[in-house]
Amino acid sequence: MAYLRLILDTSPLITLCKFKVRGQLIVDYLLPIFDLQVVETVAQEATANPAYTDAKVVQQLLNGKQLTQLPVPTTSIDAIINGYTRLGLGEQDTIRLGITNSANIVLDDYLAFVVGTRFDLRPLLLLDLLVLAAREYNLDKAIALEIVDAIQVRYSSPFVEHTRHKLKVL
């Protein structure tokens, strides 16, 4: 089983660090099977309000080196990436890092997903990452389904139901 490197955007990172299943943060289920990374702008966005519990968790993961923070790279196509002005800085920099590191990016924003795809990155939605983790990385399917139930408030119903279907047919 290969150890997959993932670059997380702010929304998926916060979701992983905010919600619990069986008394355990969701991020704790993924840390043993994935190399989780963020670009520094995402780290800043996710820890901007240290009063939030999820911001505290992100900071602890960064301090403990369980979550790797990487600098914003410079690319030859920065002007093109920056041209997508409706993307947030964290989304732009996540795409930028995905391009330079040839890593899988995890985004939950529709436009960021489309832009990432246009740069041939094959981005993942967090929901699809859960399916991948259950299918190829031994995340227990029952736990994956419980995670989907826990985070369903963050997604539209068709995405949640589609994910449940994908997990049930594994």
Instruction: Write the CATH number for 43.
Output: 3.40.50.1010
Please tell me the total count of domains within the chain. Answer: 1
Residue 133 domain-assigned (yes or no): no
Residue 65 domain-assigned (yes or no): yes
Residue 169 domain-assigned (yes or no): no
Residue 142 domain-assigned (yes or no): no
The whole model's pTM is what? 0.96
Question: 3-state class of 102 per DSSP?
Answer: coil
* pLDDT tens track for 73-91: 999 999 999 999 999 999 9
- What's the domain range around 113? 4-125
| Residues 89, 41 contacting (CB under 8 angstroms) | yes
Residue 30 domain-assigned (yes or no): yes
Residue 136 domain-assigned (yes or no): no
Residue 149 domain-assigned (yes or no): no
Assess whether pLDDT exceeds 90 at residue 45.
yes
**Could you tell me what percentage of the chain is helix, strand and coil, using 3-state DSSP and rounding each to the nearest 5?**
55, 15, 30
Residue 8 domain-assigned (yes or no): yes
Mean pLDDT of the chain: 96
DSSP state of 113: H
